[in-house]
């Protein structure tokens, strides 16, 4: 299962990969995530590109890497957190024509621990909000690509 309608059954309580205003230190992190996460780790979304949007970024499928954070919901708040994030990201359901983003399950990479011995990171399946189809088409033709796939370094200091 790769997508789930808001309020619908969830096969597994996947963690969330965030890469924009939900990152630690960004405005929506405190508004939506404070007290609702049990863990946060740096992570990378492979096979994706990051585009600048009107105050927030969009990730789309592509030949690059997007840097962000993997969030694990705190016990007992998964459904609440899922609903809040779906609302924030304007995800109305799989393939809905008014979606701003699609919530999809993707493999994200966690950096290897220095003491792991082998240096390789692990891969984890997580929910990711990718730009919806209409938004993706617009970005591919006239969007501003963020080099390096890091939204926080793609903005001017003091920007939102």
Dist CA 53 CA 96 (whole Å):
20
Cα Rg, the chain, nearest whole Å: 15
Q: What are phi and psi of 94, to 5 degrees?
A: -55, 120
Q: Quick check: is 102 catalytic? A: no
Active-site residue (options: 13, 40, 61, 89):
89
At residue 7's C-alpha, the angle toward residues 100 and 53, to 5°, is: 15
Active site residues: 89
């Amino acid at each position: 299962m790769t997508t789930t309608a808001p309020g619908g059954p969830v096969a597994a309580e996947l963690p969330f990969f965030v890469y924009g205003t939900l990152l630690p230190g960004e405005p929506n992190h405190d508004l939506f995530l404070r007290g609702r996460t049990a863990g946060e780790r740096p992570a990378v979304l492979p096979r994706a590109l990051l585009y600048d949007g009107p105050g927030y970024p969009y990730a789309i499928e592509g030949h690059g890497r997007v840097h962000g954070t993997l969030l694990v919901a705190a016990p007992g708040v998964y459904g609440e957190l899922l609903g809040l994030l779906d609302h924030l990201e304007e995800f109305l359901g799989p393939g809905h024509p008014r979606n701003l983003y699609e919530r999809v399950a993707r493999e994200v990479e966690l950096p290897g621990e220095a003491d792991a011995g082998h240096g390789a990171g692990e891969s984890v399946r997580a929910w990711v909000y990718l730009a919806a189809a209409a938004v993706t088409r617009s970005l591919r033709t006239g969007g501003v690509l963020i080099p390096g796939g890091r939204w926080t370094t793609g903005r001017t200091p003091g920007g939102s």
